[in-house]
Amino acid sequence: MAKVAFLGLGVMGYPMAGHLKAAGHDVTVYNRTAAKAEKWVAQHGGAMALTPAQAARGAEFVFSCVGNDNDLRTVCLGQEGAFAGMSANTIFVDHTTVSAAVTQELFDVAKSKGISFVDAPISGGQAGAENGVLSVMCGGEQASYDAASPIIDAYSKICRRLGDSGAGQKTKMCNQIAIAGLVQGLSEALHFAQKAGLDGEAVVEVISQGAAGSWQMSNRYKTMIADHFDHGFAVDWMRKDLGIVLQAADDNGASLPVTALVDQFYKDVQKLGGGRWDTSSLIKRLNALDK
């Protein structure tokens, strides 16, 4: 078993760190709000640290799951950052969804210190984190990935290296592109069913067994029909991710017209007060257009 640190105990990081402890690893946690770390230690055991550097000291692997590019820089860099506490030949694994640019920046800084850096964004939502069945998409050096993947197994159903540094983040962009289109399509289908006088649940029961079936359909149609969105992955975070996607598309020349349009639809949801609603709340926008 390994000595590890986990930085960031949000809705994803909290259960992920718990799975590491349950798998027998020696876990030290850090969270910007110390009360969350205290709660985690009370529930799972292990130890807490007051700074990322303190958490990382002596760890073989340091994991992070924070909010955005700036949050990641903060937990990595500076006198209190994780890199300051890490020894050479240790491995930093970042599960945050961030830009490929900041990933490359931190990969280079880590390498200059003899530290390995693996970008490893995740998909599967809060339920996937709680049940330990996340999809993990990785970029970085093969040897670093090979060392980290058995540890990641504690909370993943699939973990795969897609290429060099940044490849994990670019794969997560593909994931968000696909989700954006799927959720909009499902929203339109349910909205149309309602306008056509059909039983939405009966419609989904039939079409989900054919070519239209998807994770979004299976897991979100009931709450969408019930107008319940106080759960899941927030619209604010999706817009952050889609902003990263669209900037990357500008850089590499990819044409993403549907993604750009759905990003604007999510902006409309934010204007409705739904920044913290689940991403399936796109249907709220369609229903609001009827009023």
CATH of the domain at 188: 1.10.1040.10
- Residue 232: pLDDT over 90: no
pLDDT band at 200 (very low <50, low <70, confident <90, very high): very high
| Closest-CA residue to 151 (of 63, 44, 28) | 63
| Residue 290: per-residue pLDDT | 75
- Residue 284: pLDDT over 70: yes
- Mean pLDDT of the 101-108 span: 97
pLDDT in tens, 140-187: 999 999 999 999 999 999 999 999 999 999 999 999 999 999 999 999
Q: Are residues 175 and 263 in the same domain?
A: yes
Average pLDDT, the chain: 97
In the DSSP assignment, the letter for residue 45 is: -
The residues, ordered by sequence, that sit 6+ positions from 165 with a Cβ below 8 Å of its Cβ are 103, 104, 107, 117, 119, 139, 140, 141
Q: Are residues 84 and 218 in the same domain?
A: no
pLDDT in tens, 253-269: 999 999 999 999 999 99
- Residue 6: pLDDT over 80: yes
| Residue 61: per-residue pLDDT | 98
The residues, ordered by sequence, that sit 6+ positions from 22 with a Cβ below 8 Å of its Cβ are 44, 154
Q: Are residues 137 and 28 in the same domain?
A: yes
Q: Are residues 119 and 160 in the same domain?
A: yes
Residues with a catalytic annotation lie at: 172
Domain that holds residue 277: 170-289
Q: Are residues 135 and 219 in the same domain?
A: no
- Mean pLDDT of the 92-104 span: 97
The residues, ordered by sequence, that sit 6+ positions from 226 with a Cβ below 8 Å of its Cβ are none
Q: What is the CATH number of the domain that holds 141?
A: 3.40.50.720
- Considering 129, 164, 199, which residue would you say is the last residue of a domain? 164
202: exposed, middle or buried (Cβ count in 10 Å: 0-12, 13-18, 19+):
exposed
- Considering 164, 187, 218, which residue would you say is the last residue of a domain? 164
Give the C-alpha separation, 272 to 142, whole Å. 45
β-pair partners for 114: none
pLDDT band at 291 (very low <50, low <70, confident <90, very high): low
β-pair partners for 62: 5, 92
| Matching residue, tokens 């807490």 | 48
pTM of the model: 0.94
**99-120 exposure pattern, b = at least 16 Cβ within 10 A, e = fewer:** bbebbbbbbebbeeeebbbbbb
